[in-house]
Amino acid sequence: MKQTPRIASLPPAFGSWRDIRPLVAVVSARYRTLLQYRAAAFAGFATQLFWGAIRLMILAAFFAAATEPQPMNLTEVVAYVWLGQALLGMLPWNVDADFRQQIRDGTVAYDLLRPLDLYSYWYGRTLGFRVAAPTLRGIPMVLFAMVLLPLAGLGDWALIPPASAVAFAGFVGSLVLAAMLATAVTLLAHISLLWTISGVGVDRILTVLVTIFSGLVVPLPLFPDWLQPFLNWQPFRGLADVPYRIYSGNIPPAEIVPELVFILVWTVALVLLGRLILLRGVRRMVVQGG
Amino acid sequence: MNAAALLLRYLSISLRGQLQYRASFLMAALGNLLNCLIELAGIWVLFDRFGTLSGWSFAEVAMFCGAVNATYAIGELLATGFDQFGTLYVKTGDFDRLLLRPRSTVLQLAGHELSLRRLGRLLPGLVIVGAAWAALEIPLEADRVGLLAFAMAGGVAFFFALMVLQATMCFWTTESLELMNILTYGGVETASYPLPIYHRLFRRFFTFVVPLACIGYFPIVAVLGVDDPLGTSPMFQAAAPLAGFAFLGVAMGVWQLGVRRYTSTGS
């Protein structure tokens, strides 16, 4: 008899409202776990602070020689760098080690038995993995860059407040969407573990794609003009470039809504792709261990 | 068996082990290679946009970038045992076994693994140095090549020392902390650009406290044959890499202090 997989039909992109409760539970569990490692959080904070300072000095040295107007001014670049450091953990640059372990030792089988829509359940777990750490690290980083730096007389290097109330609202909206997009991308990598098991390769390639094309290495508007048409359509810019530029006003208020739609469309597309691949993955999956 | 022969024996066992997992090794090496190239691409993008970095050209900055990446790769290659010390030896209590053997702990940890995937950073680093050398039409003289090799040797000692210090911290913290990444990965990033662009405090820190500039910026300025905007003399530039070896000496002293403080986790 042919076995019917449990998620044979393609449910709506984010499952039904019933899927929300387990989702909330897994996200809050992740926060409580992370709060146990305060020393690690401090070390991470110091690392990102240093990294931000180095990036700023490099970019400022380049700007010092600029004679013609650039697509971004230095104040906008400073905001871009600090927001990038604060929200680094939100970028989908790695896979969840717990998840990899689960696939490797076969305990993933328990997940298949849960009376939940598998994709929604994994989406919730991955969302927790993606957003918990950056909120713990991000808030002190923003406070430092926005409040402490001006007090220390380094106002030129400080994170400016949002360009306007509209820009702030757009920033918050784009950040929520960016978290959802980042989760969808990470989940694609998680699902690919069903094939590759080790995930070392996927991890590396993901890091490379994300760091370059989200704007983390160099703000995307500073890339050569001939590359801009490509950069403007690829999904990774929704992770960092769009929210940071909305914040600083580099993306004017009139363009905010189309940009939000841009991130949303990519998120839905990647969620649907993830569901499709998961469907195939579960059919052919071999559970490890015994 | 003398120390060198023993180290070679250790390393050859490690190599044979790694070659059992070729796909995984290739993947990891490819990842390292791409990371190195991304760094260079980031520099290129900024030069394409701005043309110059306070008087430095792209090829000159590429020379800094390539040299520090290659140097760091060798240091990391030799110090993998120290890099993973907290997780593998302190947390598990396995360091007890190393202490019982009639050989120095440093030798045993250096022989822990010769991590081949670091070649993924070494090779592009060397290629970048070679390409920058050719593009800048620097004469291929023995004293320049010799100074670059000396700088890189000092750099390997420097990065090895950083890994030793990172491992030493584990005697107090048990798990290795991300904090040292500031000086390792952060050091590679910092040394990829000429020193004068940084704030005075950073310049002093990376010259006198953690002598990163002594194994990167200063000797390479002499290799490039340009005048140092910071006004150092060619004599100082040529001698600067000695600071890398001195730093290693200090790190070894600190390591001995840490070993004396070690108490086994007993698990």
Q: What pLDDT was estimated at residue B113? A: 77
Q: What is the mean pLDDT of each run of 10 residues along chain B (267 residues)?
A: 81 79 74 85 93 91 95 90 80 82 82 78 92 93 93 96 90 73 89 94 93 95 92 92 96 91 73
Q: What's the pLDDT band for A201 if we cut at 50, 70, 90?
A: low
Out of A63, A200, A218, name the one closest to residue B42 (CB).
A218
Torsion of CA B202, B205, B210, B213, to 10 degrees: 60
Give residue A204's pLDDT: 72
Name the residue among A82, A254, A245, A238 with its Cα closest to residue A166.
A254
Give yes or no for A73 touching B (CB within 8 A): no
pLDDT of residue A7: 46
Q: Which of B178, B180, B190 to mutate to test the interface with A (most CBs of A within 10 A)?
A: B178
CB contact under 8 A, A201 and B52: no
> Quick one: pLDDT at residue A2?
47
Inspect the interface and report whether the beta carbons of A208 and B38 lie closer than 8 Å. Answer: yes
Nearest to A204 among B27, B173, B198 (CB): B27
Give the tokens for residue A59. Answer: 């970019």
Find the residue in A nearest to B195 (Cα): A58
> Does a structural domain hold residue A175?
yes
Residues of B in contact with A208 (CB under 8 A): 31, 34-35, 38
CA distances from A20 to A124, A183, A274 (A): 8, 16, 19
Tell me, yes or no, whether A139 lies in a domain: yes
A52 inside domain:
yes
Q: Is residue A1 a part of any domain in this protein?
A: no
With beta carbons under 8 A apart, name residues in chain B contacting A46. 179, 182
- Decide if pLDDT at A256 tops 80: yes
- Asked whether residue A271 is domain-assigned, the answer is yes
Mutate to test the interface with B, among A47, A137, A225 (most CBs of B within 10 A): A47
Show Cβ contacts of residue A157 under 8 Å, excluding neighbours closer than 6 positions. Answer: A53, A56, A78, A149
Between A286 and B2, residue with greater pLDDT: B2
Nearest to B50 among A40, A57, A66 (CB): A66
Q: Do A59 and B202 touch (CB under 8 A)?
A: no
> CB–CB of A218 and B46 under 8 A?
yes
Averaged pLDDT of chain A: 84
Assign A47 to helix, strand or coil: helix
A5 or A66, higher pLDDT: A66
Residue A233 vs residue B23, higher pLDDT: A233
pLDDT of amino acid A19:
62
pLDDT at A290 over 60: no
Which distant-in-sequence residues (6+ apart) come within 8 Å of A152 by Cβ?
none
Q: What pLDDT sits at residue A8?
A: 42
Q: Is residue A7 part of a domain?
A: no
pLDDT of residue A37 exceeding 80 = no
Q: Is A12 inside any structural domain?
A: no
Q: Which long-range contacts (CB under 8 A, 24 or more apart) does B141-145 make?
A: B144/B222, B144/B223, B144/B225
pLDDT higher for A290 or B240? Answer: B240
Pick from A47, A58, A268, A79: which is nearest to A167 by CA? A79
More reliable by pLDDT, A81 or A154? A81
Domain that residue A225 falls in: 17-284
Residue A157's pLDDT is: 87
Residues paired with B53 in a beta bridge: B56
Disruptive mutation site among B22, B45, B201, B217 for chain A (greatest number of A CBs within 10 Å) = B45
pTM for the whole structure: 0.84
Burial environment of residue B40 by CB neighbours within 10 A (0 to 12, 13 to 18, 19 or more): buried
Under 8 Å between Cβ of A190 and A183: no
Residue of A137, A208, A225, A236 for testing the chain B interface, max B β-carbons within 10 Å: A208
B117 CA: distance to closest CA in chain A (Å): 12
Residues in chain A within 8 Å Cβ distance of B50: 62-63, 65-66
On whether residue A9 sits in a domain, the answer given is no
Comparing CB atoms, the residue among A46, A63, A204 nearest residue B179 is: A46
- pLDDT bucket at A1, cuts 50 / 70 / 90: very low
What is the total count of domains within chain A? 1
Percent of chain A with pLDDT over 90: 39
Task: Determine whether B265 is exposed, middle or buried from the number of CB atoms within 10 Å of its CB (0-12, 13-18, 19+).
Answer: middle
How far apart, in whole angstroms, are the C-alpha atoms of residue B40 and residue B35?
9
Q: Do A218 and B52 touch (CB under 8 A)?
A: no
Asked whether residue A203 carries a pLDDT value surpassing 90, the answer given is no
